[in-house]
Chain A
Amino acid sequence: EPEVTQTPSHQVTQMGQEVILRCVPISNHLYFYWYRQILGQKVEFLVSFYNNEISEKSEIFDDQFSVERPDGSNFTLKIRSTKLEDSAMYFCASTEDRQSSGNTIYFGEGSWLTVV
């Protein structure tokens, strides 16, 4: 079965540093997402991406965050100047067609970010 892959699986970074989390969505998918889950809290939507631009973002997704699809296969989440409260599991997801009721959204295994 096709899968979404994420790297790294775990990253520890110093507060104030920049982090890039990488994702390879399923190859024929068109919509891409980032979600995050702070330990013990809900999985939260961050951003959706379609046709090389952000289609929607949540209040969490402020100027500290950015997304990019640099080469047609990778989908990255950049977090600038990391804070302690950015420590969380970050999930990448993709789906073939956002509008269709028959389609499934596929999630990666997550990237666990620890800011110290």
Chain B
Amino acid sequence: GDSVTQMEGPVTLSEEAFLTINCTYTATGYPSLFWYVQYPGEGLQLLLKATKADDKGSNKGFEATYRKETTSFHLEKGSVQVSDSAVYFCALSDRYGGSQGNLIFGKGTKLSVKP
């Protein structure tokens, strides 16, 4: 079945460092791809999404590009801040383009940013 694999954490970076969190997927159809973030003590929040190949999702300085040829959706940020410390989840939707029912998640990657 469909699945998502993301890099194991935790990831510890210094403020202003470059961030990459790798995410690859397997899917029988043409999924939509998402990054969710969970800040300490809060629920899962949608960070960004992409619904078709070569789409780039972006939000709060984070970016991810839907790469169908490599089945990847890596999350990047050029300069992280302490406030970016959170757990990041890559996910796909096995339904219609853009629909977010029945998400399939990766295990999550914990990011800690030190001042």
Which residues of A line the B interface, CB within 8 A?
3-4, 6, 31, 33, 35, 37, 40-45, 48, 56, 91, 93, 95, 98-110
Contact = CB atoms under 8 A, between A and B. Distances in A.
A20 B104 CA distance: 24
B93 to A, nearest CB: 9
A103 B96 CA distance: 12
Nearest to B93: A105
Contacts of B4: 42
B70 interface: no
A43 B101 contact: no
B105 to A, nearest CB: 4
Given A43-B108, A45-B102, 14 more contacts: A3-B43, A33-B101, A33-B102, A37-B108, A42-B4, A42-B108, A43-B89, A93-B44, A98-B95, A105-B46, A105-B103, A108-B43, A109-B43, A110-B43
Contact of A99 (B42, B96, B106): B96
A57 to B, nearest CB: 10
B104 to A, nearest CB: 7
B107 A91 contact: no
B22 interface: no
B97 interface: yes
B46 A104 contact: yes
A56 B95 CA distance: 12
12 contacts: A4-B43, A6-B43, A35-B103, A37-B108, A40-B107, A41-B107, A42-B4, A43-B91, A95-B101, A98-B101, A109-B42, A110-B43
